[in-house]
Amino acid sequence: MNPTSNGHPMEGAEPPQLHPAPTYRREYEALAETIEVGPRDLAAYALRCGISPATRARIGTACAELVENAVRHAYGPGGGSVFISAGVDERDLWVAVRDAGMGFDLATAGLEELRHSRDGGLARCAALAEDLSVKSDLGGGTEVLLRFAAYRVHFDEERHVDLSELDFLCPRTARRVIEALELGGNEDLFHLSPALAVTVGRLLAGPGERRAVRSALRS
């Protein structure tokens, strides 16, 4: 078993049918603490939808960039609101961050150049998401829409199976992993996160060894 922190989905992996969940909508004050609170709330929603850890990290990071931009630039001294919404569309999770602030002229903003620059928050969002689009009007606020694709592993590949993106093993997957390792003995077949590697090791050891350990500790 190879623990791995590779955040990329396995080549040939298929996007999953995500767990249905109501559309997510939250309104926050344009305050500094919203830059952290808003993405954390959104990441919790993504978890309920069955989004994998690395994709949740991308979602939260991109959301934080957009919220910071709104907090810093959308409003004057009077402040305002930042709106975060999200939902599942087919096999993607979409996120929209909107403000009702000053807005800007898309024609003169140089967005294409910004998207390809490492210096801008919008460029970092474009690097984290599969797709990014912007709507903005002078005096009418700004909305940025992001799309994130999630991937699941499957056992039809002849190559390695990447399980490192799972939070836990569902019963079916646990049985498949145990059977494959016990019958095939190929420990390099599966890529596991450190936490899953420990979990699989405990499953392979079974309850008997743990009882023996507890008995030895008591004695």
CATH number at residue 28: 3.30.565.10
The 10s digit of each residue's pLDDT in 48-93 is 998 989 999 999 999 999 999 999 999 988 889 999 999 998 779 9
Task: Indicate the helix (H) or strand (E) that contains 144.
Answer: strand 141-149
| Residues 177, 81 share a domain | no
Q: The pTM is what? A: 0.75
Residue 154 lies in a domain: no
The 10s digit of each residue's pLDDT in 93-148 is 999 999 999 998 877 765 655 555 566 788 899 999 999 999 998 889 999 999 99
Domain end: 149, 175, 209, which one?
Answer: 149
CB burial of 143-177 (b: ≥16 within 10 Å; e: otherwise) equals bbbbebebbbbeeeeeebbbbbbbeebeeebeebb
